[in-house]
Amino acid sequence: MPKLSIITINYNNATGLQKTLNSVFKQTFSDYEYIVIDGESNDGSKEVIKTNADKISYWVSEKDSGVYHAMNKGIKKASGEYLLFLNSGDHLINDTILEEVSATLDGTDIIYGNIFLIENASQSWTGVYPDKLSLQHFITGSLPHPASFIKKILFDRVGYYDENLQICADWKFFLDAICKFNVVYKHLDKTIAVFYLDGLSSTVDSTQKIINEKASVFQKDYPLFIEMYRELNQLSDFRNNKLINLFARIAKRLGLIKIDLKK
């Protein structure tokens, strides 16, 4: 069994796919299998995969029903102890990062690092994640799947990615794993990968869909979320957190909470 399965999903992003493949192939760490799931692209992606097929453990190019269906297909084919999702266009931060991280893959359920985010040629920053996670963190945040190492057996326990969600299924998986199943996790203070903010969940048009999907998850699976807001709303420092307060107002508008929030 390889220590790590790296899974890349792709659809009509041949240039980004080649960048991702090169990032993986250059790694000094070799105890991994590499799985590529392509959604029957017609932009030359399949040719990119075929050209590099000798360095790919498994690949397929066929129609799928979306991002999370493709990711779930990768999970089912993976045989590594840990899984890392590095989707087309994103890439590892340097050539030695997997070797640096490998010694920390010690059986902990989820091991996550930081991620370098690029919005455009002039705007970029490092997303640094907290050592301690909570439900409050997942109200406005998540974990970065290109910088998170997830034990494969965790998907049997927590469940696969929810294919009914179009944007937030990875967020839901991390939320459920941490807040419902109480899995063991640890944060590595290392930047693992580079993520480009030009994907499905990064567009302005997706903002309302993200809000609606998150609200539906909280409403269905986390009814105590409502009670938490009733209590936290009494704390001035909570009300003064602009991001959380914004989400609270959105949640109120969606009917998740029925309380008066001070401006």
pLDDT tens for 230-251 read 555 555 454 455 545 655 555 5
Counted domains in the chain: 2
More confident residue, 121 or 86: 86
Domain-embedded: residue 229: yes
Given this model, what pLDDT does residue 139 score? 79
Domain-embedded: residue 260: no
Mean pLDDT of the chain: 87
104 and 214 within one domain: no
116 and 86 within one domain: yes
Q: Sign of the C-alpha dihedral, residues 14, 20, 24, 25?
A: positive
β-strand 91-92 against 82-85: which pairing, if any?
Answer: unpaired
**Going by C-beta distance under 8 Å and a sequence separation of 6 or more, which residues neighbour residue 253?**
none
Given this model, what pLDDT does residue 197 score? 85
Given this model, what pLDDT does residue 222 score? 79
Closest among 66, 82, 73, 87 to 146, alpha carbons compared: 87
What percent of the chain has a predicted confidence (pLDDT) above 90? 69
Query: How far, CA to CA in Å, does 33 sit from each of 25, 55, 75, 141?
Result: 11, 9, 12, 30
Domain-embedded: residue 154: yes
15 and 110 within one domain: yes
CATH code of the domain in which 12 resides: 3.90.550.10
Q: Determine which of 72-86, 116-130, 232-246 has the lowest per-residue pLDDT on average.
A: 232-246
- CA–CA separation, 14 and 27 (whole Å): 21
What percent of the chain has a predicted confidence (pLDDT) above 70? 82
249 and 130 within one domain: no
Sole residue written with tokens 């996670």: 133
Q: What residue numbers bound the domain in which 245 lies?
A: 209-253
**Is residue 218 pLDDT above 60, yes or no?**
yes
Q: Determine which of 13-22, 116-125, 185-194 has the lowest per-residue pLDDT on average.
A: 116-125
3-state secondary structure of 155: helix
217 and 185 within one domain: no
pLDDT tens for 22-72 read 999 999 999 999 999 999 999 999 999 999 999 999 999 999 999 999 999
State phi, psi for 189 to the nearest 5 degrees.
-85, 60
Given this model, what pLDDT does residue 200 score? 52
**Is residue 260 pLDDT above 50, yes or no?**
no
148 and 99 within one domain: yes
Q: Which long-range contacts (CB under 8 A, 24 or more apart) does 97-101 make?
A: 97/27, 97/190, 97/192, 97/193, 98/4, 98/27, 98/28, 98/29, 98/32, 99/27, 99/28, 99/29, 100/190, 101/149, 101/188, 101/190, 101/192
pLDDT tens for 160-169 read 999 999 999 9
pLDDT tens for 167-212 read 999 999 999 999 999 999 999 999 999 999 875 555 556 777 887 8
170 and 71 within one domain: yes
